[in-house]
Chain A
């Protein structure tokens, strides 16, 4: 029932949005831009030890443990990511390197320790599952805001937090037909997202389950320390916990190169 009321509200709001002045549309995009900055870009760099638990509807659980390092490059929204896997055993010491660009395809490399091989990998399909979880590559690194039309539907409280509720509709066919985002008015972090499929049925729900101002480095930022993505149709869900997080640690730019993909410095991946 809840889904239906959301849907009705969304329809009404979309209709209202279409008739409204241009600034409302701009506002929604501006809110999402601030939200991406708060969610994907805080600090000059970041390190987190990440535990992902992949759970089936039947309760079967798989676990991935990894270290994530990120560095923002000066200027446009270019970023570099380094992901190093500690668990499970079949991917231990495997590392991913991502050079992320706002205006073109990412460059991605994988290091496969069993044969000591670094490979460049194709990176176009952002809908592919990130390491077998309910999160897609796009969820992990951010969707291009220009790919969707955004409408501010309403403002409402989610729990204690005052939120903007924004609907995003893809301009070209995508894995979702529309997405609703609840953006915290203070931190601009996304607290909840609902992804609807082609038949406009609710498909996946993202929730930020624990948000704290955190950071062991020179700075602290409001951070989603626990998040969940649930596939409401299959019952499968993925919980992600940042066990430790640090910002502005002075991670060197040359870390994000082939040399360190093969053997990352102990001080960053311990």
Chain B
């Protein structure tokens, strides 16, 4: 077993930073494509954590979860882009603030 050259705390900190960049992106940006990319960032922050912990504690279940998340993220991106296309066809815009059909 190799000694870790990078401490676990660094991975966690990086992951947190990436995650909050993603959160900020989803909340602040109005372009749905950017928002989907931000969500992708949050997924990858989680993936990074999975991989880091799996490596730190030598448990391979974490790696398997990473693959699962990548698959789900791919599916999510496909559905998200499809929604964006449909919304554009209906509303002739992709600005999420202009699309508020479900206002109660």
Is the A/B pair a real complex?
A: no
